[in-house]
Amino acid sequence: MKMTYVALKSLFSSPATANYPAEPKTYYPGTRGHIVLEVSTCTLCKICEIRCPTGAIQVDREGKAWSIERMKCIQCGFCVDSCPRKCLSNDPQYTSPASEKITDRLDVPYEPPKRKPKPETPPAQ
Protein backbone atom coordinates (compact mmCIF):
# COMPACT_ATOMS: atom_id res chain seq x y z
CA MET A 1 0.00 0.00 0.00
CA LYS A 2 2.81 2.36 0.88
CA MET A 3 4.58 1.62 -2.40
CA THR A 4 1.48 2.58 -4.39
CA TYR A 5 1.33 5.89 -2.54
CA VAL A 6 5.00 6.64 -3.31
CA ALA A 7 4.57 5.68 -6.99
CA LEU A 8 1.49 7.89 -7.44
CA LYS A 9 3.11 10.78 -5.57
CA SER A 10 6.22 10.71 -7.76
CA LEU A 11 4.10 10.31 -10.90
CA PHE A 12 2.17 13.54 -10.32
CA SER A 13 4.83 15.70 -8.65
CA SER A 14 7.68 17.69 -10.18
CA PRO A 15 10.92 15.84 -10.92
CA ALA A 16 13.51 15.63 -8.16
CA THR A 17 16.42 16.34 -10.51
CA ALA A 18 17.17 19.27 -12.82
CA ASN A 19 16.56 18.97 -16.54
CA TYR A 20 20.20 19.91 -17.25
CA PRO A 21 20.66 19.82 -21.03
CA ALA A 22 17.33 21.51 -21.72
CA GLU A 23 17.73 24.09 -18.94
CA PRO A 24 21.29 25.50 -18.80
CA LYS A 25 22.84 25.65 -15.36
CA THR A 26 23.20 29.06 -13.74
CA TYR A 27 26.57 29.66 -12.14
CA TYR A 28 26.97 31.42 -8.82
CA PRO A 29 29.06 34.64 -8.70
CA GLY A 30 31.95 33.04 -6.78
CA THR A 31 32.24 30.01 -9.06
CA ARG A 32 35.77 29.37 -10.28
CA GLY A 33 35.69 28.17 -13.86
CA HIS A 34 38.44 28.29 -16.44
CA ILE A 35 41.16 30.95 -16.51
CA VAL A 36 40.82 33.77 -19.05
CA LEU A 37 43.67 36.10 -20.05
CA GLU A 38 43.18 39.67 -21.26
CA VAL A 39 46.13 39.86 -23.66
CA SER A 40 45.98 43.63 -24.11
CA THR A 41 46.99 44.28 -20.48
CA CYS A 42 49.43 41.38 -19.91
CA THR A 43 53.09 42.34 -19.45
CA LEU A 44 54.47 38.76 -19.40
CA CYS A 45 55.79 39.28 -15.85
CA LYS A 46 55.74 35.51 -15.07
CA ILE A 47 54.16 35.95 -11.63
CA CYS A 48 51.22 33.75 -12.64
CA GLU A 49 53.64 31.04 -13.80
CA ILE A 50 55.50 31.16 -10.48
CA ARG A 51 52.33 31.08 -8.36
CA CYS A 52 50.65 28.20 -10.25
CA PRO A 53 50.92 25.14 -7.94
CA THR A 54 50.55 22.62 -10.78
CA GLY A 55 52.76 24.34 -13.35
CA ALA A 56 49.89 24.64 -15.83
CA ILE A 57 50.90 28.15 -16.98
CA GLN A 58 53.95 28.84 -19.12
CA VAL A 59 55.08 32.35 -20.07
CA ASP A 60 57.49 32.77 -22.98
CA ARG A 61 58.90 36.30 -23.00
CA GLU A 62 61.07 35.80 -26.09
CA GLY A 63 58.20 34.30 -28.08
CA LYS A 64 55.69 36.77 -26.56
CA ALA A 65 53.28 33.98 -25.70
CA TRP A 66 51.24 32.85 -22.71
CA SER A 67 49.98 29.27 -22.55
CA ILE A 68 47.94 27.15 -20.15
CA GLU A 69 47.37 23.40 -20.04
CA ARG A 70 43.64 23.15 -19.30
CA MET A 71 43.78 19.55 -17.99
CA LYS A 72 46.58 20.44 -15.57
CA CYS A 73 44.87 23.57 -14.17
CA ILE A 74 42.92 22.98 -10.94
CA GLN A 75 41.15 26.38 -11.00
CA CYS A 76 42.57 27.37 -7.61
CA GLY A 77 42.73 31.06 -8.52
CA PHE A 78 46.28 31.72 -7.23
CA CYS A 79 47.30 33.15 -10.59
CA VAL A 80 44.25 35.44 -10.68
CA ASP A 81 44.91 36.73 -7.16
CA SER A 82 48.62 37.33 -7.74
CA CYS A 83 48.43 39.09 -11.14
CA PRO A 84 49.58 42.71 -10.60
CA ARG A 85 47.85 43.99 -13.78
CA LYS A 86 44.59 42.07 -13.12
CA CYS A 87 44.64 40.65 -16.65
CA LEU A 88 43.67 37.15 -15.46
CA SER A 89 40.14 36.26 -14.43
CA ASN A 90 38.03 33.21 -13.64
CA ASP A 91 35.21 32.64 -16.11
CA PRO A 92 32.31 30.99 -14.24
CA GLN A 93 31.86 28.40 -17.00
CA TYR A 94 34.04 25.32 -16.58
CA THR A 95 36.39 23.95 -19.22
CA SER A 96 34.55 21.63 -21.56
CA PRO A 97 35.43 17.95 -21.23
CA ALA A 98 38.02 16.58 -23.64
CA SER A 99 39.74 13.27 -24.31
CA GLU A 100 43.11 14.88 -25.09
CA LYS A 101 45.29 17.32 -23.20
CA ILE A 102 44.62 20.79 -24.53
CA THR A 103 47.14 23.64 -24.33
CA ASP A 104 45.79 27.09 -25.10
CA ARG A 105 48.51 29.38 -26.44
CA LEU A 106 47.84 33.10 -26.69
CA ASP A 107 50.13 35.60 -28.41
CA VAL A 108 50.66 38.69 -26.27
CA PRO A 109 51.43 41.92 -28.18
CA TYR A 110 53.45 43.46 -25.33
CA GLU A 111 56.42 45.69 -26.06
CA PRO A 112 58.50 46.60 -23.02
CA PRO A 113 59.07 50.33 -22.63
CA LYS A 114 62.33 51.67 -24.01
CA ARG A 115 64.83 52.71 -21.37
CA LYS A 116 65.90 56.31 -21.39
CA PRO A 117 69.62 56.75 -21.94
CA LYS A 118 71.47 57.99 -18.88
CA PRO A 119 72.72 61.54 -19.24
CA GLU A 120 76.46 61.73 -19.32
CA THR A 121 77.92 63.34 -16.24
CA PRO A 122 81.03 65.46 -16.50
CA PRO A 123 84.14 63.85 -15.06
CA ALA A 124 84.96 64.71 -11.46
CA GLN A 125 87.73 67.30 -11.00
pLDDT(26) > 70: yes
Closest CA to 110 of 62, 48, 47: 62
pTM exceeding the 0.85 threshold for the entire prediction: no
pLDDT(45) > 70: yes
pLDDT(55) > 80: yes
Confidence (pLDDT) at 28:
81
Percent of the chain with pLDDT over 90: 48
Mean pLDDT over residues 25-37, rounded? 84
Confidence (pLDDT) at 107:
95
Confidence (pLDDT) at 111:
84
- What mean pLDDT value characterizes the chain? 88
* Residue 125 banded pLDDT, cuts 50, 70, 90: low
- E strands, 3-117, where? 35-37, 57-60, 65-69, 88-90, 103-107
Domain annotation for the chain: domains and CATH numbers: 37-111 (3.30.70.3270)
Q: pLDDT, tens digit, for every residue of 93-112? A: 877 788 888 899 999 998 88
